[in-house]
Amino acid sequence: MNAYSPMMALPAERPFDDPGWVFEVKWDGIRAIAYVGETLSVRSRGDKELLGSFPELEELRQLASDAVLDGEIIVLRDGRPNFRAAAQRNQLTNPAEVEEARARSPATFVVFDILEKDGVSLIDSTLKTRLQELRKALRQGRYVVVSAPVEEHGVDYYEAAVKRGLEGVVAKRLSSTYQPGSRSSDWLKIKRVKSCDCVVFGYTPGEGARADTFGALLLGLYDEGRPVYVGRVGTGFTDPDLKDVRATLDGLKVGDPWFSDPDIPPGSTWVRPRLVAVVGYQEATRDLRLRGPRFMGFRDDKPPELCSLSQIRPLRLDEYYAKRDFAATPEPAGGHTPGAGNSFVVQEHHSRRAHWDLRLEKDGVLASWAVPKGVPLEPGERRLAVRTEDHPLEYGGFEGVIPRGQYGAGNVEIWDRGFYVPVRWLDDKVEVVLAGGRLKGRYELVRTDRDRGEWLLFKKP
Which active-site residues does the annotation give?
Answer: 26
Q: How far apart are CA 390 and CA 41, in angstroms?
A: 43
C-alpha 124: how far from chain center: 23
Q: Are strands 144-146 and 343-350 parallel, antiparallel or unpaired?
A: unpaired
* Neighbour tally for 63: CB within 10 Å: 20
Q: How far apart are CA 399 and CA 330, in angstroms?
A: 9
H helical segments located in 234-333: 239-250, 318-322
Residue 355 carries which side chain, given as an amino acid letter?
A: H
Phi, psi of 292 (to 5 degrees): 65, 45
Instruction: Work out the number of other CB atoms within 10 angstroms of the CB of residue 386.
Output: 15
User: How many Å from the N-terminal Cα to the C-terminal Cα in the chain?
Assistant: 70
DSSP 176-218: PPP-TT-EEEEEEEEESS-EEEEEEEEEPPP-GGGTTS-S-EE
Contact between 380 and 394 under an 8 Å Cβ cutoff? The reply is no
HEC letters along 388-430:
EEEECHHHHHCCEEECCCCCCCEEEEEEEEEEEEEEEECCCEE
Residue 358: HSE in the Cβ half-sphere, 13 Å Cα cutoff: 27
Which of left, alpha, beta for 223 (phi over 0: left; psi -120 to 50: alpha)? beta
Residues linked to residue 22 through DSSP beta bridges, in sequence order:
151, 172
| Class of residue 196 by CB neighbours under 10 A (exposed 0-12, middle 13-18, buried 19+) | buried
